[in-house]
Structure 1
Amino acid sequence: MRKLKHLAACVSMFAVLGAGHAGMAAAQDSRNATVQDGIAVRPLSRLTKYVPAETINEAAAQQYTQMMSQAQQRGVLLPPSHPEVQRLRAIAKRIIPHASRWNKDASQWQWQVNVIDSKDVNAFCMPGGRIGFFTGILTSLKLTDDEVAAVMGHEISHALREHSREKMAKQTVTNGLARLGGFAASAIFGVDPSFSDMLASYGAQLYGLKFSRDDEREADLVGLDIAARAGYDPRAGVVLWRKMAALNKRAPIELLSTHPGGESRIADMNAHMNLLLPVYARAKGTTVARLPAYQTNVALR
């Protein structure tokens, strides 16, 4: 109970102080950038400190567990012995060791990888490393291991760069003092009936969260970086988005509704291949000049 009171008090204090600092912090974030191996990223938002990592991780764990439990009850959660589950877990096992270079906390995450039998062309990674794939994205796009790694790296990068935590912090700011005033009262009077509601609210937003174009660009490049370090060809990212664009012409897919596509993203990936390919080549024990052309498994127009 003391922990809940402390959390309520912290959030309430943000209601008083946060609005005044939010604009300045956001402006500073947009001016500054950090660079790793030539890939420019924004610094982690200062706003995230107003949504405790413990809170969002607990919400993510709660929702992920609920989703997997429901999938199992409906008979659509693939068992650990299924070839696709083993395939994705093997890919994740290679990628995960490279995640902490982008977020040191990732080394302590309780990573999970599960696959749901569904026609949905989608995948996600919740805060704390909770990964989910739908079979639709594997079968509809006929993904190679390199292309799975591009998808997985992208989704993991949203968690590494704390995009959902930042977005929820911004939403907390815009919700105003009225909603947060209740937390202050709860802290003062020793009762926190709204905590579970807040937790559920956060959890409900974690899956299917729409990110900004800057977030998507960052996830593209960071995702290809960690995939390349794991020995997966970053050129697969370009092929992946071409496959999704081709599929979307026949039937709009959910992944593209939450992940803005377009030639500009492909161009951005190509513009960074001079940085990504050497990383991949080193992982393969060769040089860029000796790399074979990328081969996918379907003909692309």
Structure 2
Amino acid sequence: MLPAVLAATVAVACQTVQTTGGGAVGVEREQMMMIPARDIEQASAQQYQEVLAEARRKNALNRDAAQVQRVRQIANRLIPQTANFRPDAPAWKWEVNVISSNELNAWCMAGGKIAFYSGLIERLALTDDEIAAVMGHEIAHALREHARERVSKAMATGLGISVAGALLGVGQAGQDLMGSLAKVTFELPNSRLHETEADRVGVELAARAGYDPRAAVRLWDKMATQSAGAPPQWLSTHPSHASRQKDLADYAARVMPLYEQARRR
């Protein structure tokens, strides 16, 4: 009985969705999801609070008031532009915090939970345009619901007891989901497809907010310099440096009219 029930549940749970509009950059791809968006958002909110609590215990949360204000001001310009990809996003319960750490890292979890690491800003001497490039890229992952898609893929390729429990709402479903979400957020790099989508959506978000989209090219040059010619682990599945630079340059040029328009406002 269980295989039949599981198969039926999987069939019901699977959804093909279009998470965002294509925008000027034309990112349009239907995604297969096996878990409701609300579940990922709830797990993300809980995971985010745990990260903040740990940083607070280490006296590493929002230590530099000027730096925090700078990052939040940039976020405040980017967030309204998310409406160009999905109308619900500006109303998400956005949070933006800075963690004191030497890591070259930043992320945005489902529902708009953003963390920026001070090492990224300081070690790379980021300009506001470059911070916007990073943040736009990370926000794009949330808009495209890449974490939900990755957890869904993990479920689809490992249909065992724990997955059955998650789908049927029994057992350790909540903890399983938290563990899977943490893994795809903090441990495993994004796929090349997800990184390319985030690059393209990210440059458009930056341009619409009045930040120079060409800064994304300069940013990844800095990244490569700091990483001995290779990207950090969290970007390690992305195409080669040269391929990424060309794609970013092409899409930055495509959204330059949006940048010029934003600057005139």
TM-score, normalising length: structure 2? 0.87
State the match for 1:67 in structure 2. Answer: 51
State the match for 1:117 in structure 2. Answer: 100
> Cα distance 1:117–1:259, how it changes in 2: closer, same or farther (>3 A)?
farther
State the match for 2:109 in structure 1. Answer: 126
- CA shift, 1:183, in A, is 5.2
2:86 aligned residue (98, 103, 111): 103
1:227 aligned onto 2:215: no
1:17 aligned residue (5, 11, 21): 11
State the match for 2:253 in structure 1. Answer: 274
> Cα distance 1:94–1:56, how it changes in 2: closer, same or farther (>3 A)?
same
Distance (Å, rounded) in 2 between the aligned partners of 1:40 and 1:77: 37
Q: Secondary structure at the match of 2:116?
A: strand
Question: What letter is aligned with 1:75?
Answer: N
Q: How does 1:1-40 map to 2 (within 5 A)?
A: 12=6, 15-17=9-11, 35-37=22-24, 39-40=25-26
Is contact 1:98-1:230 (8 Å) kept? yes
Please provide the CA RMSD for this pair: 2.7
Q: Secondary structure at the match of 1:249?
A: coil
State the match for 2:190 in structure 1. Answer: 211
Question: What letter is aligned with 2:46?
Answer: Q
Distance (Å, rounded) in 1 between the aligned partners of 2:46 and 2:184: 11
Distance (Å, rounded) in 2 between the aligned partners of 1:279 and 1:165: 30
Q: Unmatched 5+ residue regions in structure 2?
A: none
Q: Secondary structure at the match of 2:96?
A: strand
Question: What letter is aligned with 2:106?
Answer: A
| Count of aligned positions | 259
Question: What letter is aligned with 1:58?
Answer: Q
State the match for 1:150 in structure 2. Answer: 133
- CA shift, 1:197, in A, is 2.2
Give the number of the structure whose alpha-carbon radius of gyration is greater.
1
State the match for 1:237 in structure 2. Answer: 216
Is contact 1:121-1:255 (8 Å) kept? no
Distance (Å, rounded) in 2 between the aligned partners of 1:210 and 1:14: 32
Distance (Å, rounded) in 2 between the aligned partners of 1:14 and 1:53: 20
Deviations 1:119-174 (A, max 9, x none): 00110000010000111100110000000000000000000011111111111111
Distance (Å, rounded) in 1 between the aligned partners of 2:84 and 2:140: 11
1:93 aligned onto 2:67: no
2:65 aligned residue (74, 82, 87): 82
State the match for 1:201 in structure 2. Answer: 179
State the match for 1:42 in structure 2. Answer: 28
Deviations 1:197-229 (A, max 9, x none): 223223322422421111111101101101110
1:135 aligned residue (112, 118, 121): 118
- CA shift, 1:105, in A, is 2.6
> Cα distance 1:160–1:70, how it changes in 2: closer, same or farther (>3 A)?
same
Question: What letter is aligned with 2:173?
Answer: F
State the match for 1:174 in structure 2. Answer: 157
Distance (Å, rounded) in 1 between the aligned partners of 2:166 and 2:123: 46
Distance (Å, rounded) in 2 between the aligned partners of 1:250 and 1:275: 27
Distance (Å, rounded) in 1 between the aligned partners of 2:233 and 2:165: 36
Distance (Å, rounded) in 2 between the aligned partners of 1:149 and 1:139: 15
1:58 aligned onto 2:52: no
1:246 aligned onto 2:225: yes
Deviations 1:53-99 (A, max 9, x none): 111011101111000011001111124x7111000000000000001
Percent of residue pairs bearing the same amino acid type: 41
Q: How does 1:173-192 map to 2 (within 5 A)?
A: 173-182=156-165, 192=170
